[in-house]
Amino acid sequence: MDVGVTPKPRVLVVEDDPDVAIALRASLAILGYSVVEIVAEASRFDLALERARPDLVLLDIDLDGVPVGLELAERVPAHIPFVFVSAHSDPTTLMRAGARRPVGFLVKPYARAQLAATLEVVRSWRPPPPAMVETGPSLEGLSSREREIVEQLLAHKRVPAIAKALFISPHTVRNHLKNVFAKVGVSSQQELLDALRAQRSER
């Protein structure tokens, strides 16, 4: 039995170019990281995230030429860091990416040294503390989609109805709720709703 060996960080790679994905897997292995899964389609992301339970997500912004990676980033739990990867570094892309609060941004094509440096920064990252204060949970750190879901909950809608209203799957709604719980420092829908309703009644 090895003593004092640190487990390799587990990485979920979202990349639709198979050649790039293979090369990235090889580079990560050389750097001491293990790729737990490679996702090429947005529709597989939620299941892969839940199944693989990664320590880090490398998230290509464009899948099949569509910047769906920006939406997928909002589904990553608050305790898991993610790095955007893109061939585009124009101001609009960087502004939209920055709004999702990634830990890093890699511009394709990148050298292995750049990948290594980015991953070292990620390893020193720590999740932000819950946004719970004395007056109750704050919604300041929530994405627009997460806020929509919270408002739907406050309107007494259940997960299936929320999914239908927002044109997303119930599984996606539940993933967003997990992120909300982590960000505001609660552990259930009821706890979240009770705190928010109490806040609103005091105003």
Domains defined for the chain, CATH in brackets: 10-123 (3.40.50.2300), 132-202 (1.10.10.10)
Q: Is the pLDDT of residue 21 over 80?
A: yes
d(CA 45, CA 171): 11
d(CA 162, CA 72): 18
- Per-residue pLDDT averaged across 145-156, rounded? 86
**Among 146, 155, 135, 141, CA closest to 195:** 135
Q: Is the pLDDT of residue 134 over 60?
A: no
Q: Please report the pLDDT score of residue 40 as a whole number.
A: 92
Q: Which two tokens stand for residue 160?
A: 């299936």
Backbone angles phi, psi at 58, to 5 degrees: -100, 115
- Per-residue pLDDT averaged across 3-20, rounded? 79
- Per-residue pLDDT averaged across 34-55, rounded? 90
Q: Please report the pLDDT score of residue 167 as a whole number.
A: 84
Hey, what amino acid is at 202? E
Contact 199, 136 (CB under 8 A): yes
Burial class (CB in 10 A: 0-12, 13-18, 19+), 198: exposed
- Per-residue pLDDT averaged across 175-193, rounded? 81
Backbone angles phi, psi at 87, to 5 degrees: -85, -5
Task: Give residue 2's pLDDT band: very low, low, confident or very high (50, 70, 90).
Answer: very low
Q: Please report the pLDDT score of residue 60 as a whole number.
A: 93
Backbone angles phi, psi at 179, to 5 degrees: -65, -40
Q: Please report the pLDDT score of residue 59 as a whole number.
A: 94
Q: Is the pLDDT of residue 156 over 50?
A: yes
